[in-house]
Amino acid sequence: MGRFEGRTAVVSGAAGGIGRACAVLLADEGARVAVTDIAAEGVRETMELITARGGRAAAYPADITSGSAVRDVVAAAEHELGPVTLTVAAAGIMRNGPFLELSEDGWDSTMAVNLKGVFLLFQEVARRASAHGGGALTAISSVAGRGARPTSADYAASKAGVISLVRSAAQALAADQVRVNAVCPGVVDTEMTQAIHRERAVLDGITPEESYARQVAKIPLGRTVSPAEVAETVAFLLSPAASYITAQAVNVCGGLEMD
Ligand SMILES: NC(=O)c1ccc[n+]([C@@H]2O[C@H](COP(=O)([O-])OP(=O)(O)OC[C@H]3O[C@@H](n4cnc5c(N)ncnc54)[C@H](O)[C@@H]3O)[C@@H](O)[C@H]2O)c1
């Protein structure tokens, strides 16, 4: 029997990358999974992938920065798939550029997706989970939230904000038996990482391959992490095996960060 048999989870950013890997793993382990993303085609593909593996999923294309859209997604998930008690907040965006050229609009959109989006999803799922006797919420932060990122200050600040939000929400929701944690990946093999190195290569006057190789050279384990490996830590934190873990941010980074 899977770890999430009989449970319903909402996964944002589920059109690809880490969000998709989390959705697939939770479904493989018995959860009914509501997958949501602004990328409508990708999120439907994730639903089809889960269904083809014998799992149960429903796709809800939506913008995570809209409170009413998030409320509709969680309500529809509960209506179609059963009581919602688990969530993974994985939607995120990142751009690289000189600090002095970071625009007000760029700052606002990063904060809206990466920080407000987590807040909106957490609050809506927590309302349901509290009413159902408990649950678990996990956000994908980043090791970028632990330190400085001179060419993506908005991103690093948003991810530090996610760690802070997780701590506050965990304390606020503990009495309702809702656990809240963050996972901080290092360098993950996803489209986001490829895009980052295309942008950094321009800034540094090197090729995207050189930019990528420079970053990998800094990782003690000597390689990037797969979305499936990140999903394993997310699933652990959502599972009963993590029943006493809340308000934590766990690095999954091959030794890149230690705090
Ligand atoms: N790739 C990495 O190296 C890395 C490292 C640390 C943390 N992360 C974080 O992991 C999470 C997943 O990233 P990924 O690497 O899988 O990249 P990804 O680009 O594959 O996934 C991000 C998803 O978020 C979705 N999204 C963007 N804006 C949205 C919006 N307004 N509403 C709903 N969905 C929206 C995108 O469509 C995309 O499917 C992100 O929060 C990212 O910041 C990634």
What is the DSSP track for 53-108? TT-EEEEEE--TT-HHHHHHHHHHHHHHH--EEEEEE---------GGG--HHHHH
Looking at residue 254, its pLDDT comes to 98
Rounded to the nearest angstrom, the distance between the alpha carbon of 90 and the centre of ligand 1 is 6
Count of other CB atoms within 10 angstroms of residue 214: 14
User: Is 155 one of the catalytic residues?
Assistant: yes
Looking at residue 189, its pLDDT comes to 87
Q: Which atom of ligand 1 is nearest to the CA of 112?
A: 31
Ligand 1: which residue has its CA nearest to atom 31?
63
Rounded to the nearest angstrom, the distance between the alpha carbon of 1 and the centre of ligand 1 is 30
The CATH topology of domain 8-186+226-251 is Rossmann fold (3.40.50)
**95/252 Cα distance (integer angstroms):** 22
Pairing of strands 178-185, 135-140: parallel
**185/225 Cα distance (integer angstroms):** 8
pLDDT band at 191, cuts 50/70/90? confident
Catalytic residue from among 60, 155, 212, 244: 155
pLDDT band at 127, cuts 50/70/90? very high
**251/259 Cα distance (integer angstroms):** 8
Rounded to the nearest angstrom, the distance between the alpha carbon of 13 and the centre of ligand 1 is 6
Characterise 84 by phi-psi region: left (phi > 0), alpha (psi -120 to 50), beta (else): beta
- What average pLDDT does range 58-86 have in this prediction? 98
Share of the chain above pLDDT 90, in %: 96
Rounded to the nearest angstrom, the distance between the alpha carbon of 144 and the centre of ligand 1 is 14
Stretch among 43-47, 65-69, 87-91, 190-194 having the lowest mean pLDDT: 190-194
Q: What angle do CA 113, 27, 192 make, to 5 degrees?
A: 35
Residues of the chain within CATH 3.40.50.720 domain(s) are: 8-186+226-251
DSSP 32: E
Ligand 1: lining residues by beta carbon, under 6 Å: 13, 15-19, 37-39, 42, 63-65, 90-94, 113, 140, 142, 185, 187-188, 190-193
Q: Which atom of ligand 1 is nearest to the CA of 18?
A: 16
Looking at residue 46, its pLDDT comes to 98
Q: Which atom of ligand 1 is nearest to the CA of 224?
A: 3
Mean pLDDT of the chain: 97
- What average pLDDT does range 43-63 have in this prediction? 98
pLDDT band at 1, cuts 50/70/90? confident
